[in-house]
Every structure is written in structure tokens, then in C-alpha cells.
Chain A
């Protein structure tokens, strides 16, 4: 944890905020920079409130919310991991010509638009949080992650992976980790962690389907299509339709995701297999969405979203708890004997989660 709290542990709470509000330009810059090093949504929200200080409230004359609009900032990390980065594209700036920068900018925009147009959610925290993306992080860095405050994208090593901004669903996946942290959170460990991962895959895929205008039967239901480098045997990193079939390669190994509870993987790797066991709830969502047909975000997505927001979801909730919630939400939204409620119940049963 030493990484996380550095200055924040030394400076009394509230002091940074006061400096950020009332200090001169240099002091403000220092305070905002220090606040930005604390990796949590709560601190991101505090920073956001300071950036917005003195600006008019986002309500129109009738007290309604104006149409949602993303506020994006992309930093180029210059292939370093320990760097403050260089601001390369802010909101409204024109394209830079750098693929990772422009894909991150556009992808964060598509993700924002998806959440706004589908659920009227105003960014990660539903309060218009600025979306910050770091690109060109590290050298040949084979990963993209959510660090608690921003989305970070590596360039990939070119041998196994291409740049991580290449798939829109990856960007949607990372931003959704912020949404889950804000709404849940779900502990990033074992079954609650696999559920957390699955929720990011579900909404990551929906962001892509929404941007492409695809119905459930037109979607590829793949996570990370285009991410595997040329020559790697596979079509993506994960398949929500058929977990365990996305890749099978001599160097990369074989996709090990289970599609059913009987194959649940117990391991100490990867925080208890959070990227492995997510295959089970991923398939449950796919089954509901394809059973109902049409735009997957309309009903299946709505049910999952409302379940994620349900106050009875706890940090340690697992598949069964979440399955129960989705069934309850489906009944509440669409009726006891509705097709939606039945599709949800059937899907969890098919993946071996007894409700």
C-alpha cells in the first residue's frame, strides 16, 4: 500500500482540498497533482469537484439535467511506467494521428455515450467524472487496467498482443471497473472478483454492440477481438458465447474459461481466477441476451445494470447472490411470469448456478 498513500498519508485530510481551492496557481497545481496520486474513485470525485468548483451546476433553467457529454483527457506516458505523462488530447481537441491516443479518446467517448444514452448515467460516478486515459504506458506492456482512478493502456509487445486500445470492448471493460467500484464495490477476489470481471466484460461488449448498432444475434460476443498479434492462433481473449474457445496457441496457451459451475477453477493465480471464472456469468448474460433478442442493452443490459446498482449487492456477493438479484429485477421490471424473468432463471440454471 506504500505506493498508494505516499503524500496523502502525510498531509492532513482536507488540507489538499483547501490548497487546491484557495492556493495560487503553483500551489493549486501541486495539490491537484497530489490528489490525483491517490488511487480511488472517491478521491477522483473530490478532484473532479475541485476542477468544477465555481462552474455552474449542470442543470438547465427547469432544473433538468442537460444532455450528457463526456469530458476526456488523454495523457501519453512516453513508454514509461513512472511518469506524469504529457497531455496530448483534451475534450474537443482534434485527432492527433496517434492511433492509441485517438482510439482511447474515441473509445472513452463511445463508452460514455453508451452509459448516458442507455441508462442516463453521467460518467463513471453518475456525476460527470472526467475520464482520464493513459496511453503508451510502459515498454511493450501487455496489459490494460483500471488503477482506481483512470484507464491505463499498454502498447502490447507486438508478438503476442497488439495495442490494448485496439478493441472498443477493452476500453468499455476498463471504464466499467470504475462504475462497479462506484456502485458496488465487488471485492477483486475469488467469486466476487470473477463477477466484477464479468460485469466489465458484459458492459464492454455492450458498448461495442451499441457503437456498431448490432442486435444480440449479430454481435460476436468476443472480448479483445483484434488484440491478439498476427500469427497467434485465436480470435480474441474471451468468448462470452462459448467460454474456453477464444484461443488455443502454442505460445499463449489455451483459453481456460469454464462455461459451467462444475468446471469452476480453484486457484491462487489471478486473485482466485477472476479472469477465468468470469466465463460462467458471461455465458449466463449471453444466454439471456440471445434468448430475448433485439438490442442486448435494452432488456438484458438493463436487468444487469439495475442488479449492479441494487443496494443489497455486497462486496463479497458471488454468482448466486447476483443471479438472485437479476431474477428479482427482471420480475420487478417486466412482471412475474414475463419472458425476461424466465430467460434469466433459465440462463443461470444452464450455467449451473442454482438460484
Chain B
């Protein structure tokens, strides 16, 4: 499974992409990430911009030939999606 989180917008309007592959993680970390993806339930996510100059995140999950995609906004993001975004960003930078 590969997960990418593309952050765009913000006052600066500059894009940043974080990417992580479960193959590159140890088994517990990979399982945790799969669980976060399940809990985030991306196909059901609805998110509209809230306020102005906030970050937008485009989340893309590829698992074999299955794909999920969602666009979410800071200030209007369900907590499970927030946890997934945070986790991918930490793993990607670490």
C-alpha cells in the first residue's frame, strides 16, 4: 500500500507531498497505517474549505489496483483523517 498526502494552499500557496509505502515499514507500523486508512474511510469524506488561507490535503491511497482519494481541508477534517495525515507526514519526514 502506498499513501501520499499532498498539502497545498495556506497563505504561501506552496505544495508539499509526503509519501509512505507499507513495504518500507516494519510489520506493526504497516498494520497501524492500514488501520488508520480503514478508520479514515476516505470515500465517505466530505470537506469544504473553512475560513481562508488554510491548508488543503489531497490524500491518495493505492493498494494493488485499488485506489482511494479524498480532498480535505484544515478546520473541516474528521479526526480519523487528521490522524492519518499526521501519521503519513511524520513517517515521510522520519
**A residues touching B (Cβ–Cβ < 8 Å)?**
1-4, 39, 142-148, 161, 164, 170, 173-174, 177, 181, 188-189, 193, 196-197, 200, 224, 237, 252-253, 268-271, 274-276
Roughly how many angstroms separate A143 CA and B74 CA in the complex, as a whole number?
12
Pick from A145, A269, A276: contact of B52, CB below 8 A. Answer: A145
Which among B3-11, B26-34, B36-44 touches the partner chain? B3-11
Q: Is the CB of B49 within 8 A of A253?
A: no
Interface centre among B15, B51, B79 (most CB of A within 10 A): B51
How many inter-chain residue pairs (CB < 8 Å) link A and B?
95
What are 8 A-to-B residue pairs whose CB atoms are below 8 Å? Answer: A1-B50, A3-B75, A3-B77, A146-B51, A148-B75, A173-B53, A224-B11, A269-B9
Roughly how many angstroms separate A146 CA and B11 CA in the complex, as a whole number?
10
Asked whether A268 and B71 contact (CB < 8 A) given A200-B52, A224-B11, the answer is: yes
| Residues of chain B within 8 A of A3, CB atoms compared | 50, 75-77
The distance from the CB of A21 to the nearest CB of chain B, in whole angstroms, is 27
| Residues of chain B within 8 A of A269, CB atoms compared | 6, 8-9, 15, 56, 58
Roughly how many angstroms separate A196 CA and B51 CA in the complex, as a whole number?
11
Pick from B12, B13, B49, B71: contact of A161, CB below 8 A. Answer: B12
Given contacts A145-B11, A270-B8, A270-B13, 4 further A-B contacts (CB under 8 A): A3-B75, A145-B74, A148-B50, A271-B56
Q: Is the CB of A237 within 8 A of B11?
A: yes
Interface size in chain B (residues, C-beta < 8 A): 28
Q: Is the CB of B12 within 8 A of A174?
A: no
| Residues of chain A within 8 A of B52, CB atoms compared | 145-146, 174, 177, 181, 188, 196-197, 200
Q: Is the CB of B51 within 8 A of A148?
A: yes
**B residues touching A (Cβ–Cβ < 8 Å)?**
6, 8-15, 46-56, 58, 71, 74-79
| Residues of chain B within 8 A of A177, CB atoms compared | 51-53
Q: Is the CB of A147 within 8 A of B50?
A: yes
Q: Report the nearest A residue to B6, measured CB to CB.
A: A269
Pick from B12, B15, B47, B77: contact of A142, CB below 8 A. Answer: B12
Roughly how many angstroms separate A271 CA and B71 CA in the complex, as a whole number?
10
Nearest 5 interchain pairs by C-beta: A275-B13, A269-B8, A145-B53, A270-B9, A177-B52
Roughly how many angstroms separate A181 CA and B53 CA in the complex, as a whole number?
13
Q: Report the nearest A residue to B13, measured CB to CB.
A: A275
Pick from B15, B55, B76: contact of A1, CB below 8 A. Answer: B76
Roughly how many angstroms separate A253 CA and B16 CA in the complex, as a whole number?
10
Asked whether A39 and B75 contact (CB < 8 A) given A146-B51, A177-B52, A271-B56, the answer is: yes
Roughly how many angstroms separate A306 CA and B13 CA in the complex, as a whole number?
28
Pick from B12, B46, B76: contact of A275, CB below 8 A. Answer: B12
| Residues of chain A within 8 A of B11, CB atoms compared | 143-145, 164, 170, 173, 224, 237, 275
The distance from the CB of A257 to the nearest CB of chain B, in whole angstroms, is 9
The distance from the CB of B40 to the nearest CB of chain A, in whole angstroms, is 13
| Residues of chain B within 8 A of A188, CB atoms compared | 49, 52
Pick from A173, A253, A274: contact of B14, CB below 8 A. Answer: A253
Q: Is the CB of A142 within 8 A of B9?
A: no
Roughly how many angstroms separate A174 CA and B51 CA in the complex, as a whole number?
10
Roughly how many angstroms separate A206 CA and B29 CA in the complex, as a whole number?
51
Roughly how many angstroms separate A174 CA and B78 CA in the complex, as a whole number?
25
The distance from the CB of B46 to the nearest CB of chain A, in whole angstroms, is 8
| Residues of chain A within 8 A of B56, CB atoms compared | 269-271
| Residues of chain A within 8 A of B8, CB atoms compared | 269-270
| Residues of chain A within 8 A of B12, CB atoms compared | 142-143, 161, 224, 237, 275
